[in-house]
Amino acid sequence: MSWPRLAYSGAIGLLSPLIWRRVWREQLPDRARGERMGCLRPFADERPRLWLHCASVGEVVAARPLIRALRLRHPDHRLVVSTMTATGAERVLSLVDDVPEAEAAAPLSHVFVALDFPGAARRFVQRLAPRQAIFFETELWPNLLRACARRGIPVAVVNGRLSPRAFRGYRRLRPLMAESLACVDWLAAKSGEDAERFVELGMASDHIQVVGSMKFDMALDDASLKVSERLHAAIGHRPIWVAGSTHPGEDELLLGVQRRLQARFPDILLVLVPRHPQRFEEVARLCQEAGFETVRRSRGRVPSARAEIYLGDSMGELQALYGTADLAFVGGSLVPIGGHNLLEPALMGVPVVTGPHLDNFEDVAQLLRDAGALVEIADADELVERVAALLEDAEQRKRLSEAGQGVIDTHRGALEATLAGLDRLLGHGQGR
């Protein structure tokens, strides 16, 4: 074992109590925690397996077009998607039937990825035995990558991105990253800037292809559209704005914005969707303590005319809830989180509003910005004014909606380029 990986493995060994504490709650009731150490249960059949790793629910949502395409492209395989979080696991399992019934498709399975201890990583890869390993975005785990390379498994990183902040962190570990990236056979980068950052970390430039972002290849979900239409009809004609993927410290600000907007729009409804399900109860309590008439999505109720907050405390429905609104604020951006997917509301034809913290989505934000499809605010005070102005200007909302959908249509294509690259890599792997 090289000294960078030895030092890294020693460090995570020392931190293992904290790591276990962090992942202990990330579990499903019927799953053994031994999966975290690579102890996978036997699969239902002997089909060859393809492995895709996504960190959490956000990456699974972004990878949905790829998951669907791989299942249709390789019906004689089994696609195994791993995640670190329980919410990501639930999102994967919700995609089991996400293919046309008439189409032959590979079965879809979920496993929790092994923690990146050397033995756990080796055991995980040995028992999974995939024909190809695909890591989504920046999931670069040194021992897992090395375990794949040792077994001759072709490794790809797709939708590869490195935000400036992530790059600064990885650059401090350049010897370890260079060794890890040497295990990657092909990297599909989202942008030229991302590709340059990977090269600076030690990735061979001739193993990188700039293909764009797969986020633009999202498809409208018929089920989400139907939910949006039913909800919109049930709520009736009143001003509606959504705040999606919100974080601690942000919810309080947004509730203050809602209260101020009510002075100008007495019947306005805020659809509030926290990012993490473990915060649903906490945010419900915040709404009630602030004196808002709150209806919870998980209770199966539709907001009455008296409701002021509709709490989106259900899984996998953010896209549908975006579709009910006159405009959408995308969270993680009023507090220094780095933002979330700006394209989800745009795909639903909803004007997009964001705060100033966009480190994780600056590339997408710039495209929307250049097209006049993004409303950016500096703080809660400005959010009040911009939301009010948009609610009073239907023509401006229409222009923003059309511009956002135009950006998505213009930048589609990363999925096909990624699939072509994965096919080439799989073909090369067969000859190993």
Active site positions, annotated: 59
Q: Indicate the Cα dihedral angle 351, 358, 410, 193, nearest 10°.
A: 170
List the one residue out of 93, 72, 57 whose CA is nearest residue 415.
Answer: 72
Question: Angle of helix 118-128 relative to helix 142-150, nearest 10 degrees?
Answer: 50
CB atoms within 10 A of CB 65: 20
DSSP 320: H
**Can you tell me the distance from the alpha carbon of 376 to that of 356, in angstroms, rounded to the nearest whole number?**
7
For residue 227, count CB atoms less than 10 angstroms from its CB and return exposed for 0-12, middle for 13-18, buried for 19 or more: middle
Rounded to 5°, angle at Cα 68 from 65 and 73: 115
DSSP 349-414: T--EEE-S--GGGHHHHHHHHHTT-EEE-SSHHHHHHHHHHHHT-HHHHHHHHHHHHHHHHHT--H
**Can you tell me the distance from the alpha carbon of 432 to that of 430, in angstroms, rounded to the nearest whole number?**
6
In 195-316, DSSP assigns E strands to 208-210, 240-246, 269-274, 294-296, 309-311
Helix (H, G, I), strand (E, B) or coil at 180: helix
Q: Are 124 and 414 contacting, i.e. CB atoms less than 8 angstroms apart?
A: no
